[in-house]
Amino acid sequence: MQTFLPYASFEESARCLDSLRLGKQRVEVLQILRASMLEDYGWQTHPVVCMWRGHEDALIAYGLAISDEWIRRGHRDTCLAQIAEFSTHRRPPTERELIERGAMPPWLGDEALHRSHRSALLRKHRDHYAPFFERDLPDDLPYVWPVPCAAPDTAREPIAAWVLRAETRAMLGRFVRDGVVALPDADAHSGTKSARMTRAFVEDAKIGDVILVPDEARLLVGEITSDARHERRRRRPHVRDVRWLGELDRRALRRPVRLQDPSLFFALRGEDDPRLAMTASASSARV
């Protein structure tokens, strides 16, 4: 993972990138935002994640500058809305606004860092980058990483609900028809992410907890009504009974960006009780 900053300006950096790297940067920004802001996602101690941790507004502004340049070159956008969704503001602040607020990362403008990025780009595509950069720039400089690295925030907000994904429409139909949710098998003590998900599904999620199943822009809302059981003949052998309550637009959540976590099962934290949001949405619809 890497965000390329040959210059301190996000827009200038975006303009000089070759199209292959420009397109990939949009995905890199999403991966870094998710690793920084979603629980148990990705490589959370990677230097580039540490570099941007605590400066997510600036990373979003960088990602939007990259996306704008991508669109300007005539490509179809697939990432801009997902990047913007990470912002805690009604409208993500621009690079210029962050500069005016003094809210940019302290390492931005460090010439050693930017020179190391120019060197890496020159190494990757000399024909494209040689006209942009200084003539005496070597192509073998190591990356400069800002230090010290901010540690991940280990404080966890209360769990408002559990989110479980259905891999297919047929599986979603079975969940609704049979009043169940289910998870694939894994060794709950292996230490892998799938094992952690299994353990959370079997042990941590309690009877009465809310469970949400995404279905495009809506969420099916239910309550867990049984302990976990193991049905060996099924593709997803870990099963729990659910009483379905209704559905909710994902935009009714305070931070719908948390649903960008692609995990099959995870805790949704920092939200109000989705049952209350569902009731409020229904009341608004009646009015």
Residue ending a domain, among 113, 129, 145, is: 129
Which of 41, 28, 22 shows the shortest CA–CA distance to 2? 28
Whether 42 and 112 share a structural domain = yes
Tens-digit pLDDT profile for residues 197-242: 999 999 999 999 999 999 999 999 999 999 999 988 777 789 999 9
* Distance (Å, whole) CA 104 – CA 8: 10
Q: How far, CA to CA in Å, does 162 sit from each of 83, 125, 223, 255, 267?
A: 23, 45, 10, 14, 5
Q: How far, CA to CA in Å, does 76 sit from each of 69, 72, 240?
A: 11, 10, 41
Whether 116 and 190 share a structural domain = no
Output the CA torsion sign for 230, 231, 234, 240. Answer: negative
CATH number at residue 265: 3.10.590
Q: pTM of the predicted model, to two decimals?
A: 0.81
- Tell me whether residue 154 is in a domain: no
Total count of domains within the chain = 2
* Distance (Å, whole) CA 216 – CA 285: 20
Domain that holds residue 74: 10-129
Whether 122 and 173 share a structural domain = no
Tens-digit pLDDT profile for residues 137-153: 999 999 999 876 655 66
Whether 276 and 164 share a structural domain = yes
Whether 200 and 255 share a structural domain = yes
Whether 122 and 167 share a structural domain = no
Whether 32 and 84 share a structural domain = yes
- Tell me whether residue 134 is in a domain: no
Tens-digit pLDDT profile for residues 48-85: 999 999 999 999 999 999 999 999 999 999 999 999 99
- Tell me whether residue 253 is in a domain: yes
HSE on the CB side for 15, CA within 13 Å? 7
* Distance (Å, whole) CA 193 – CA 187: 10
Whether 100 and 35 share a structural domain = yes
* Distance (Å, whole) CA 242 – CA 179: 5
Place of tokens 């960088």: 62
Whether 112 and 62 share a structural domain = yes
Mean pLDDT of 87-107: 95
Tens-digit pLDDT profile for residues 156-171: 789 999 999 998 999 9
Whether 120 and 174 share a structural domain = no
* Distance (Å, whole) CA 259 – CA 77: 20
The mean pLDDT value of the chain amounts to 91
Maximal C-alpha separation, the chain: 69
Query: Count of residues for the chain?
Result: 287
Mean pLDDT of 33-50: 90
Residue ending a domain, among 109, 129, 149, is: 129
Place of tokens 């997803």: 236
- Tell me whether residue 195 is in a domain: yes
- Tell me whether residue 200 is in a domain: yes
Whether 192 and 108 share a structural domain = no
Quickly state the pLDDT bin for 40 (edges 50, 70, 90): confident
| CB 44, CB 36: distance < 8 Å | yes
183: helix, strand or coil: strand
* Distance (Å, whole) CA 221 – CA 145: 44
Whether 78 and 24 share a structural domain = yes
- Tell me whether residue 29 is in a domain: yes
- Tell me whether residue 1 is in a domain: no
- Tell me whether residue 136 is in a domain: no
Tens-digit pLDDT profile for residues 263-282: 999 999 988 899 988 765 54
